[in-house]
Amino acid sequence: MFSLSILSTGNEVCERLAYYGMSTNLVLYFKHQLNQHSSVAATNNQNWGGTCYITPIIGAFLADSYLGRYWTIACFSIVYIIGMTLLALSASVRGIRPRCYAEDNCNPTEVQSAMTFLALYLIALGTGGIKPCVSSYGADQFDDTDEKEKKHKSSFFNWFYLSINIGALIAGSVLVWVQDNVSWGWGLGIPAIAMAIAVCFFFSGTCLYRNQVPGGSPVTRLFQVLVASIRKYKVAVPANKSVLHETADKESNIKGSRKIDHTNDLSFFDKAAVEIETDQLKGSVNPWRLCTVTQVEELKAIIRLLPVWASGIIFSTICSQMGSLFVLQGERMDTHVGHSNFKIPAASLSIFDTLSVTFWVPIYDRIIVPVTRKFTGHKNGLTQLQRMGIGLFISIFAMVVAAILEHERLKMIKRHNYYELKEMPMTIFWQVPQYFLVGCAEVFTCIGQLEFFYEQAPDAMRSFCSALSLTTVALGSYLSSLLVTIVSNATAKNGKSGWIPDNLNYGHIDYFFWILAALGVFNLGVYVWFANWYTYKKAVGTLR
């Protein structure tokens, strides 16, 4: 039911407002309030952001195995609120907030810094139970037996992502301005209030939600197939695949899961479903020796997803620059709006990423899909893999544009000797194209990933697969952090300032952007090869 899916995503909308309201400007909080160097601030920002996308593995495991998506969202939301509250207090309460003598001149104690990071990593834990569950939970509200509801499910992922970006738009404009011009206490306190509203919004629909029964530990089932396959490595798989072991019931023996049709690839794992005399002990089946076809196909589905999953890491590395090097680049440009005294915070340029998403989602849903459907015959116009590939292609150009802009900025600095200027006379709005291209890439790749990992996941592993897709964001952040560290250490030797110094006017982050563009080209080539190899999952029957 569409109204139920919208109600369940209300939690995510407010949570994203809270998350982006805190994280969009976080690199500058580290640099100016916690007195960290540019490279250290960028690294800490990337590491924390990465952790926010690793913890969903924990939430997904609990949701699929024991708690279900509803209770996982509910419990972890409380942890999130505690972390947000503590972060707001660490930025506003005398004694635990960093002591500042003037703008950009702060001297926090170790305890004050530790308080900030404790709050941030509580938030990272809290968001781990929300991210992998909300999109899947919203999609669960559509009945697959109802053709009308089933038709709307694909559009749901488009509008779900758009709703998230509405929260990000408010955060990147209003909240960043509050942080820069009012106080960090209010700037971090408002997101905490938004998260409290999110929890209330979510609980308001408790009596209406459709809840899927947890199917037990997906990790255990995967290992059972691996162990059973290895034990039977000498057993031949019969040519007639219909004799492979499967339950006689209409549904599979996994709670909340439909049966999955057998596929011919990755045939080694079919050995786990070959019945031999020693498989049944005392009349019962030992799952560590004999698995059903559906259980085998669960493992196959995960293995097929892995190459597509890996391609998202470089993409996430590129997107993560919006919260780090794009902000530091913008900070060194003219932030005045027109000829007024109003200055736009460098982090607020992320609103153009959000505006790009807001622009492209309805264009994609209402124009691109119907037009491409006429040529491809596919119900969604483009397949999910085609959609993601287009996004990877567009992201390369985002880095190319960012590199060209920085090259031109450095040329102007050298020509006019602007090295010591805090803001050089080049408007920050020259950054708009790179943000806009990233937003366009997200509409294709990120929304494509949401739908792809939901549709191709086994029924009882949807939260787990959603979390798997989110880990690409984490690994992308960690990879970006690693690259920044390597580049800084390699280029800042023998008295040289390096590519990423505190004063970027002496640096060369354009070279860093070119490296990311080259990685993007390589990533796209590998992705296309694996996408051509991919076999789509076929479920038997419906859950409802």
Whole-angstrom distance, CA of residue 42 vs CA of residue 544: 48
- Which one-letter amino acid corresponds to residue 208? L
Query: Do 155 and 175 fall into the same domain?
Result: yes
Sign of CA dihedral 351, 355, 360, 361: positive
HEC string for 83-110? HHHHHHHHCCCCCCCCCEEECCEECCCH
By the 8 A CB rule, do 517 and 403 touch? yes
Domain encompassing residue 236? 218-299
What is the model's pLDDT at position 514?
94
Query: Do 389 and 518 fall into the same domain?
Result: yes
Query: Do 294 and 309 fall into the same domain?
Result: no
Three-state DSSP at 321 gives helix
Whole-angstrom distance, CA of residue 536 vs CA of residue 541: 16
For residue 75, how many other CB atoms are within 10 A of its CB?
15
pLDDT in 10s for each residue of the chain, 544 residues? 444 455 555 666 677 777 887 777 787 788 878 877 777 887 788 788 778 888 888 888 888 778 888 888 888 888 988 998 998 888 888 877 777 766 667 777 788 888 888 999 999 898 888 877 777 776 666 665 565 655 566 667 766 777 777 777 777 778 878 887 888 888 888 888 888 887 887 787 777 777 676 766 778 888 889 999 998 888 888 888 777 888 776 666 676 677 888 888 888 888 888 888 776 666 677 888 888 888 888 889 888 888 889 999 999 999 888 877 888 888 888 888 777 777 887 877 888 888 898 888 888 888 888 888 888 877 777 888 999 999 999 999 999 999 999 999 999 988 988 888 888 888 889 999 999 999 999 989 988 888 888 888 887 777 788 788 888 888 888 888 888 888 888 887 777 778 888 788 888 889 999 999 999 999 999 999 988 888 776 655 544 4
By the 8 A CB rule, do 349 and 435 touch? yes
Domain count, the chain: 3
**100: phi then psi, degrees, rounded to nearest 5:** -120, 135
Q: Please indicate, yes or no, if residue 544 is contained in any of the structural domains.
A: no
Query: Do 347 and 258 fall into the same domain?
Result: no
Q: What is the dihedral of CA 64, 231, 251, 210, to 10 degrees?
A: 0
β-pair partners for 540: 259
Q: Please indicate, yes or no, if residue 518 is contained in any of the structural domains.
A: yes
Closest CA to 443 of 534, 533, 315: 315
Helix, strand, coil in percent for the chain, rounding step 5: 70, 5, 25
Angle between helices 147-170 and 2-23 (to 10 degrees): 20
Three-state DSSP at 433 gives helix
Query: Do 482 and 359 fall into the same domain?
Result: yes
Q: Please indicate, yes or no, if residue 277 is contained in any of the structural domains.
A: yes
- Residue that terminates a domain, selected from 299, 319, 337: 299
Query: Do 112 and 123 fall into the same domain?
Result: yes
Query: Do 121 and 209 fall into the same domain?
Result: yes
What is the model's pLDDT at position 403?
94
Query: Do 94 and 198 fall into the same domain?
Result: yes
- Residue that terminates a domain, selected from 241, 271, 299: 299
What is the model's pLDDT at position 544?
44
Query: Do 259 and 350 fall into the same domain?
Result: no
Residues in Cβ contact with 166 at an 8 Å cutoff, skipping those fewer than 6 apart: 13, 354, 358
Q: Please indicate, yes or no, if residue 476 is contained in any of the structural domains.
A: yes
Query: Do 320 and 241 fall into the same domain?
Result: no
Query: Do 1 and 77 fall into the same domain?
Result: yes
Label residue 311 left, alpha or beta by phi (over 0 means left) and psi (-120 to 50 means alpha).
alpha
What is the model's pLDDT at position 2?
46
CATH of the domain at 489: 1.20.1250.20
Query: Do 227 and 179 fall into the same domain?
Result: no
Q: Please indicate, yes or no, if residue 543 is contained in any of the structural domains.
A: no
By the 8 A CB rule, do 30 and 481 touch? no
Q: Please indicate, yes or no, if residue 293 is contained in any of the structural domains.
A: yes
By the 8 A CB rule, do 5 and 138 touch? yes
- Residue that terminates a domain, selected from 179, 214, 249: 214
